[in-house]
Amino acid sequence: MPTYELPELPYDYDALEPAIDQRIMELHHDKHHQGYVDGANSALDKLEEMRGSGDWADVRSVKRSLAFNLSGHVNHTVFWENMHPDGGGEPGGDLADAFDEHFGGFEGFKEDFSQAAKGVEGSGGGMLVYDHIADKPIVAAAENHQNQHPQGATPLLVCDVWEHAYYLQYENNRGEYVDNFWDVVNWDDVEQRYMAAQQADAIPQMTQ
């Protein structure tokens, strides 16, 4: 059994139209995400072989491949669940309170996140993450899948801005794609991730 497996989409391929069209979703999920799953499993297999053979000549490239592909798998798994055909609107509950406290309101968060996503140089994604050191949500912008992503932060909301995420439909208009992304955000999912991350205490601080 491989360690990582491609999750099913939680809706049909065409369910997010008109924000994201069917063909993008088919290729993105079945080909791109599958590629990251396969790449992450392959990297783990190679590391096992290297431990067995003692030949570590390729260690640098294999570790790079593991970080890239596993981060891609994580980001896409969150990204699919972050969206829903009945999504959009504004969050409520504790997530809305967190946006008020840490971003000056939902619009402040939305602007921060949109600018991060639109401004990624090359391929990457806008990311709302829960920082376990400060115990609060912050906005990051990943390059590729893993670079410029804070260590020890749990992804809550991902907007993939690789060209494969929008180019078939939006061509070079990444900004329009990001603006329409908000119409399909599943705030219930984001809030559940926020609540779970708060409970995790993934990086306990050992104060003396």
Residue nearest to Mn ion (CB): 160
Q: Do 149 and 71 contact (CB within 8 A), yes or no?
A: yes
The residues that bridge with 143 in the sheet, in sequence order, are: 124, 147
From 105-113, 159-167, 177-185, 187-195, give the range in contact with Mn ion by CB under 5 A: 159-167
Q: Which two tokens stand for residue 178?
A: 């990001």
Measuring CA to CA, which residue among 135, 136, 139, 132 is closest to residue 202?
132
Judged by beta carbon, residue 33 or residue 84, the one nearer Mn ion is 33
Number of residues that bind Mn ion (CB under 5 A): 2
- CB under 5 A: which stretch of 8-16, 109-117, 131-139, 156-164 binds Mn ion? 156-164
Nearest approach in angstroms of CB 68 to Mn ion is 12
Question: Cα separation of 18 and 169, whole Å?
Answer: 10
Q: Which residue in the set 112, 131, 160, 191 belongs to the binding site for Mn ion (CB under 5 A)?
A: 160
166 in contact with Mn ion (CB under 5 A): no
What minimum distance in Å lies between the beta carbon of 152 and Mn ion?
23
18 upstream amide cis, omega within 30 of 0:
yes
Sign of the alpha-carbon torsion through 13, 16, 17, 23: negative
Site of interaction with Mn ion (CB under 5 A): 160, 162
